[in-house]
Chains A and B, each alone.
Chain A
Amino acid sequence: ETGVTQSPTHLIKTRGQQVTLRCSSQSGHNTVSWYQQALGQGPQFIFQYYREEENGRGNFPPRFSGLQFPNYSSELNVNALELDDSALYLCASSLTDPGDEQFFGPGTRLTVL
């Protein structure tokens, strides 16, 4: 059983650009969640996908969007990047039941210049 992986590890973009971050969940995990972690802060919930449908969203604007695929991979897309989008982006996968342990990836460090 492999763990959760994310790519790329680091990314530098300029303001106004678009970015796609990728996550590969643990096999059998139907739920994937994405978080934004600013430096020195706790992660903030962006959204959650279950069986390829979004089923929960935090206080993030629509320019943050996602996709989940049947092969346990998922994407986080951010359009019109802003300087404040600079952060560590974490994905986490879990089984279906509420309150199941979430298995986190190592994150993607996004820097917006």
Chain B
Amino acid sequence: AQTVTQSQPEMSVQEAETVTLSCTYDTSESDYYLFWYKQPPSRQMILVIRQEAYKQQNATENRFSVNFQKAAKSFSLKISDSQLGDAAMYFCVHFGNEKLTFGTGTRLTIIP
């Protein structure tokens, strides 16, 4: 069984600053994917970034990057140059054995 733990229920960051959201997971799969999804107040969930577990190189998407530590089963998200539109609930997600397992989420507030 897979579990995903997000230990920070809420985070806040000053606009233009950098923030890191933490995530750890446990999995019995040897082949899996990890994601960060974002759910803005309007509810529609959208993909932020994706990491294949077999790749050692950390994924980056513009201002978003991850620190993937496979041995430690850690997958943190760094948001650089935070913008007001980044305010949302962020979910760390594990995909394996044909299903997604979500963490409990971190609510990110951007301070103008």
Chain A residues with CB under 8 Å of chain B are 33, 35, 41-45, 48, 55-56, 58, 88, 90, 92, 98-99, 101-102, 104-107
Contacts and interface: CB of A to CB of B under 8 A. Distances in A.
B24 to A, nearest CB: 14
A103 B3 CA distance: 22
A92 B95 contact: no
Contact of A104 (B45, B95, B98): B45
A47 to B, nearest CB: 9
8 contacts: A35-B100, A55-B98, A98-B95, A99-B32, A99-B50, A102-B45, A104-B45, A104-B46
Nearest to B9: A40
Contacts of B50: 99, 101
Interface of B: 4, 31-33, 37, 42-47, 50, 52, 91, 95, 97-105
Given A33-B100, A99-B50, A42 B45 contact: no
Contacts of B32: 99
Contacts of B37: 104
Nearest to B51: A99
Contacts of A45: 99-102
B44 A42 contact: no
Contacts of B105: 41-42
B91 A101 contact: no
Given A102-B47, A104-B46, A56 B104 contact: no
A48 to B, nearest CB: 6
B94 to A, nearest CB: 10
